[in-house]
Amino acid sequence: MRESLRNDIKVLVKHQRNNTRANYIKTFIIGLGLCLAIANILYINGKFTVPVPHIALINIEGAIERGSSTGDGLIISNAIKLAMDDDLVKAVIIEANSPGGSPVQAEQLHRTIMSMRHNNSKPIYVSIGEICASACLYIVSAADKVFAHKSSLIGSIGVRMDGWGFDKILSHLDIERRTYSAGEFKALLDPFQPRDPEVDNHLDTFVLSPLYQDFVGAIKEGRGDKLDQQNPLLFTGLIWTGMTAKDLGLVDDIKTHYQVRESLKTHFDVEMIQTYTKSSFDLKKLIMAEFWADVIAKALIKLDVNAATPIMRLE
């Protein structure tokens, strides 16, 4: 009986040691996985850089709008200036993939790139991805050279303002709309009011037309005599594929992102391309790091099975 009890105690002690060891290993794997996931996110976001000659990469992605790390005019302007002031940077690539957005943010970036183009010897290149329309084209037209894929969508040079008209619905439903305002035209965009020719004329003359002329002027300033300005469709808001955009002078050549990167690395005799647009750290990105989640999960499952085996045998 005593011998049996002694053996049971030995088994329990051994199991406890194995369980403790398994917990240590689990903790180590979780910690290692988290560290690697954080390092991976930081590396992708350009937090880690290597002090060697390189080409700076700037990303314009998604809507051109304030607050976006890849669409805010001030944030990207600062990234461009940082790259231009770095003696190790030989050139700048802007990889653009955006359907457009804010004219104010586009104006900021256009002016920044034009200023750098005139006051800095480092060239700024643009490589267009899936789409570069409207405000995106406003921005990239300022670069020294613009490349695009054959299948890229480029254009949409124009300005738009959207609204709805619900005034007829109210009359059908026998509902009265009551708006209180000071200033004759304070409620000029109220969708429940009928259209006013005077308001339409004001918006066209003092809002849409000036913005449109600024847009066209920026494209002409950036692209210069490369543009086919004799084409009556150029500034009508139409959109084209990369090849047609090249014929119109909106881009310089047809190359993929990879081809642009490799040709510039060869031309400037560098091996590294480092990202200068930095996304803010997001815990969600860490939690959603699928690769490390899979690694950790498999490791924990295996350890739990091994640790549970002695208990199953004792029972």
> Tens digit of pLDDT for each residue in 273-287?
999 987 554 555 455
Query: Distance (Å, rounded) from C-alpha 223 to C-alpha 251?
Result: 9
Pairwise CA distance, residues 260 & 127, whole Å: 7
| 296 and 232 share one domain | no
Distance CA 105, CA 64 (A): 7
pLDDT at 44 over 80: no
155/292 same-domain check: no
Report the domain count for the chain.
2
In this structure, are residues 77 and 71 in contact, taking their beta carbons and an 8 Å threshold?
Answer: no
Give the CATH number for residue 222.
Answer: 3.90.226.10
Are 274 and 138 part of one and the same domain? yes
Confidence check: pLDDT of 307 > 60 = no
For residues 186 and 282, give the distance between their C-alpha atoms in angstroms, rounded to a whole number: 41
* Model confidence band, residue 310 (pLDDT cutoffs 50, 70, 90): very low
Say if residue 257 is in the same domain as residue 301. no
CB 153 within 8 A of CB 145: no
Are 150 and 67 within one domain? Answer: yes
User: Within this chain, do residues 297 and 179 fall inside the same structural domain, yes or no?
Assistant: no
Judgement on whether residues 72 and 218 belong to the same structural domain of the protein: yes
Q: Name the average pLDDT for the chain.
A: 85
- Could you list the residue range(s) of the whole structural domain that residue 119 is in? 51-278
32 and 103 in a single domain? The answer is no
Residues 172 and 292 in one domain: no
Whether residue 236 sits in one domain with residue 186: yes
Residues 64 and 186 in one domain: yes
pLDDT of residue 167: 85
Give yes or no: residues 270 and 121 share one domain. yes
Q: Considering only residues 195 and 46, tell me which one the structure prediction assigns the higher pLDDT.
A: 195
Span 301-307, mean pLDDT? 46
pTM of the full structure? 0.74
